[in-house]
Amino acid sequence: MSDPVTAKSGWRWFLEAVTAIRKQPLALTGIVVFYILVSGLLSGLPAIGTLLTSLWMPFGCVLVGFATRDALRGVHPSYVTLVKTFEKPALRMTLMWIGLISALYMEVLIMAVSFLSKDSLSKWVITEDSVDLSSVLNNFPTAAVIVGILLYVPLLMMTLFAPLLAADGAQSFGKSFFYSFFGLCRHWVAALVGLLTIVGITALTGFLLNSIF
C-alpha cells in the first residue's frame, strides 16, 4: 500500500530523487542530460522547433521517470525504455497526442501573450548597450504576464504526470491529462512543498557557488 500524501510528501519526494541520483549518479545524470540536450537541439530548429520539442517531451519524461524508478529499485537505468516506448503503437500515439496538444496550447498561449504585450514592448527604449530600464518599468506588460501565468500553470499541471500515467497506467491522453491536473489539485500542498524545496535548494546552491567563486 502506498503512503498517504501529506504536506511532508513533497520533502519525501525530493529525498527520493536525491537517493536515486546517489544510487546511480552517472547513469541517471546522463539520461537527464540527454533529455535536456535533445530538447535544446530540437527547440533551436527554425519553424518546427517548438512542435518537435513538444512531441519529444512526453517520451523524454517517460525515459527520465522510468530511469528514476529503476535507480530507486537498484536497477541500472537504461535507454531501452525509450526504444520500448516507441515500439508500442498505442503508447506511442498517446504520447504524441500529449505532445501535439501541448504544442497547440503553447501556440495559443504565445499568441495571447504577444498580443497583450505588443503595445508595452513597442514603448521600450533600446540604447546602444541594452534596453533602458526606466522604459521597461514604465511600460511593463503586466496583463500579458498575468495571462501567461494563468494559462501556463494549467498546462503544466496537465502535462507534468500525463506521460507517466499513459506509460505506466495505460491511460488515454484525455485521462492522463485529467488525472495529472486533478491529482496536483488534490495534493497541491505536497506539490508546493516539493517545488519550494527544489527552488530553495537551487537558489541556496547558486548563492554559495557565487560566494565561493
Quote the CA–CA distance of 24 and 26 in Å, as a whole number.
6
State the pTM of this model: 0.83
How confident is the model over 44-99, as pLDDT tens digits?
A: 888 888 889 999 999 999 999 999 999 999 899 999 989 999 899 999 999 999 99
User: From the CB of residue 132, how many other CB atoms can be counted at a distance below 10 Å?
Assistant: 13
**Residue linked to cell 497541491:** 188
pLDDT in tens, 124-180: 888 777 777 888 888 888 899 999 999 999 999 999 999 999 999 889 999 999 999
Q: Grid coordinates representing 155? A: 498546462
Q: How many CB atoms lie within 10 A of CB 85?
A: 19
Phi/psi of residue 129, each to 5°?
Answer: -95, -40
Percent of the chain residues past pLDDT 70, beyond the cut: 98
Per-residue pLDDT, averaged over 8-36, amounts to 90
